[in-house]
């Protein structure tokens, strides 16, 4: 089973590895189970980061006088990303002088 993202192979799970996983996952659903797990990892990372963004940015936006904050996470994220003070990981790293 090959796992591709944008046409690039990230992982090739061979039959032995499938059997190892099948020690506690029904072999009949192994591929669906692997897909579910991969989806969960990425979604969990997104959810975790969104909660961290909210924790930092909602109080900051409220202090700046923003009265209405979207309940939709993607809409809120776009407001945060458009803010003049927002910096993503790359900007933070470059500013820190680590690289």
pLDDT tens-digit profile of 75-93?
Answer: 999 999 999 999 998 998 8
Mean pLDDT, residues 57-85 taken together: 96
In whole angstroms, give the CA distance from residue 5 to residue 38: 12
- Please, are residues 41 and 49 in contact by the beta-carbon 8 Å criterion? no
- Please, are residues 61 and 79 in contact by the beta-carbon 8 Å criterion? yes
Domain parsing of the chain, residue ranges? 2-96
The fraction of the chain above a pLDDT of 90, given in percent, is 88
Q: Would you place residue 47 in the very low, low, confident or very high pLDDT band (cuts 50, 70, 90)?
A: very high
Residue 99 above 70 pLDDT?
no
Whole-model pTM above 0.85? no
pLDDT at residue number 59 = 97
């Amino acid at each position: 089973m090959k796992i591709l993202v944008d046409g690039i192979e990230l992982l090739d799970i061979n039959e032995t590895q499938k059997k190892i996983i099948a020690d506690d996952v029904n072999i009949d659903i192994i591929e669906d189970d692997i897909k579910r797990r991969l989806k969960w990892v990425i979604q969990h990372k997104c959810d975790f980061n969104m909660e961290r963004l909210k924790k930092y940015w909602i109080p900051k936006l409220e202090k700046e006088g923003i009265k209405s904050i979207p309940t939709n996470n993607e809409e809120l994220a776009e407001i945060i990303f458009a803010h003049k003070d927002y910096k993503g990981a790359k900007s933070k790293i470059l500013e820190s002088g680590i690289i």
